[in-house]
Structure 1
Amino acid sequence: MLAQAFHISPAQRARLVDDPERRVLSALAEGPDYYLLMAWEYPLEPAMPVEAYRRLIERLPTATSILTGNPWAPKELGLTWPDPAPAPPVDPDLAHSPDEHVRAGAAGSPSLPADLVALLALDPSRMVRGVVSMREELTEEQRMAIDYRVEAWERLRPIGWVRDATDPDVHRRCASSAHIGLRRSLAYNPAIGPDIIQRLAVDEDFAVRLLLCEQNPGVPAEAVINVFLEAHNMRASSLLRHPSLKDFPFAAHAENPHPGVRALVPRDPDASPELIDRLSRDPVPVVRAMAAADPRLSVARLLELFEEEETTEYAAANPLLPVPVMQAILEPDPAEEAVEGTPTIYLGHWSADRPLPS
């Protein structure tokens, strides 16, 4: 939806405030999908001028609940969640609940008596034992004595006492811990120094390395690229906006044996047209595809790539594509096919010798 597009300006987005559709107004209140943004991209510039937000609230009063705590909303609106009240002391009886989720909640409470902590460290539930294993007061030996397990695929909430710690000794203790949960939580901590960043950047746990790159602007460029090449989630491409890659000399890595690195070379504004042309002839399709979208290509080479099935989509996005070719994409002749019943029309670019889809 245009209301949530990243590429439009705040002034352009503000023009939609008077749209008659309620769902458009709700989309304006939500703003662009900030799930794809990284921690180092905050704080965000407001998605619209403050006057537009006030007009939006006037037209859609329920927008205030959507805007409260929303990172796109201007601070001038004053829509923030109140600070949470201090947690009350935990009821010791909760440690004996038949519900493992209740016991896990008790296990994470700082006020839980030591005898109940020891009891829950032997709990039959792996979840409960895992929560106990991440308590702040435990020594590394006590932590390792608990029968817990963290799978590589397992999602963990960052532990507050680790994420918010400012003491370098706590940082070093957590970075050297064998507990994956502590190291993952430390990756969220904005106060860690260069020595801890260097250590976590080569952590054996991929999630630690990924979280570090997502959260910290000080991660070395090589570490960010390595994580990008290894990542297979929907946020992976966002890593290419990492501050350490802003002036990275991708062109110097055109001979890298990893095709994923060669595919990044067109991101370098200093890459020569000759280098882009050479990459457009790379044996690996993804490298050719990235080069096909680059406006430093010659029009002649661009048209050749447009005719190749593996690169036609990327060549079609190249701004140098001749206008007649663009028009042919947008207004193609129907592909001829003998069919029974309702005729089928295929839209897109089809060469004469390319088989039609079945």
Structure 2
Amino acid sequence: MDHALHGLAANPSLPPDLVDRLILVADPDLADELADRADLTHDQATTLATRIESSAQHLARHGMLTAADVDPVTRPAAALALLGKGSGPAAWARLFAKDPDVSRRETLAGCPGLPRDVVETLAADPDSRVVAELAFGATPEVAAALATHPHAEVRRAVAANEATPPTVLAGLLAGKGIPPVQRCPVREREEAAFVPAPQCPRPNSDPPAGASCDGSRESATHGIQRAALHNPATPASAVAGFAEHPSEPLRRAVAARRGLPAAVYARLAVDPAPGVRADLAENPSIDDAVIEILAEDRGHDVRRCLAHNPRVPLDVLVRIVGRTRIGPTSLPRIAVASPTEVEELARSPLPTVRMLIARRRDLPAEIRDALATDPDAAVVMSVAAHPGLSEARLRAMVDRHGVRVMAGVAANPDATGQLLEELSRHRPPARKALREIARHPHATPRALLACLADEKARCTAAGHPALPAQALAELLDHDDLQVVEAAAAHPSLPAAVMAQLLHRT
């Protein structure tokens, strides 16, 4: 892979004649890069598709090729891409429905708006992968018909399809009114029944994770049930009955389901599996009684998930963050706090609470400025990127807390070029700050040159509009090939240099 050429292919300033030259030397990877160019002409697109068959699919998917440009026999991938966009003729769909290549039939099965006769052909396909792909996006009528398919993967696809009629989903979940599964992926891999390792007598067997098949199709049945439990179209009454199922993955699916009776959630709140309780904690359908139970849960993940629930009462949230490590994140309940609640949170005696409110970027000026002078560095770091902070306040933050807040200050949209330059000269280097400076629109040439010394900042700095031309030229010979690619993609790269890069291939 020539990183310089890949950079040129993405360079928006690459002249049309050099685009033509790149097309002539492109390999499949480079062709994909060229296919993404916004200025690619139709002639260039057809030339590229002629040279690199794989790019034809990419170009068709992005609307650069039409049906008139594509022969489905010589360019099947491009033709299928157009069918996937709903812009290929019905004759193509009929052609691919009988294609001996199963992967093409499978791709076709996922296309929208297929003619009825094509759908019927695909529904009767001997390969279950084709039928399953059809079932994922099938109409209610077709999905209902495929619910009795003998293969488990087809039924699982029907169970995941939100267009499947609720009565059919309930039947798949309960296993009633539907013939038993006759085929499943596990049995197709192993002709003989097996027991998962380490008891498996055949060490080279490779069943799907967690799968087993003793003739009862239990794993396959659970896969169908799990898909139905996650499907919002499955009736709540059918889902509720699985709250006490012995399978933890199935109970977790119930715990995440919205709109169930309160008694179901109350039962799950005391489930022995922490994963079930954690999934329940994030569910916005749980009531205050369940929230109180989960707030006292000893499982760290349970309380952390509850903190991310948009319905958690503010007093409960404050209690949780006071004893649970949440991290520097934005919580849904904090994001919708009222003006009065924002004031209360900003005055909290707990730094962790003040830190969470400081991450909001719509704070009133007086609260923002007060948090900017907070004695806790974590709070100041959280508010440092808030727009509207004066340069004097930003400098005061750095003077008081040093390197601990520099990355936040460097990320502030109002940080001046002079301030960014000063931050870039800090010794020892504030590496997180350098990475923010490298992408800041106010970064000066001097600040960007300092960023080039940091391994993670230099790629970003190499693409910054303010990077000096001389530095850009030097980066084209850098040891780090990702830096070379970023420099070659720079819009300010002179056309003569671009031509030289092409000439050396």
Give TM-score, length-normalised by structure 1: 0.48
TM-score, with normalisation over the residues of structure 2? 0.36
Higher relative contact order, chain-length normalized (CA < 8 Å, sep 6+):
2
For the pair shown, the structure with the greater C-alpha radius of gyration is 2
Q: Which has the higher helix share?
A: 2
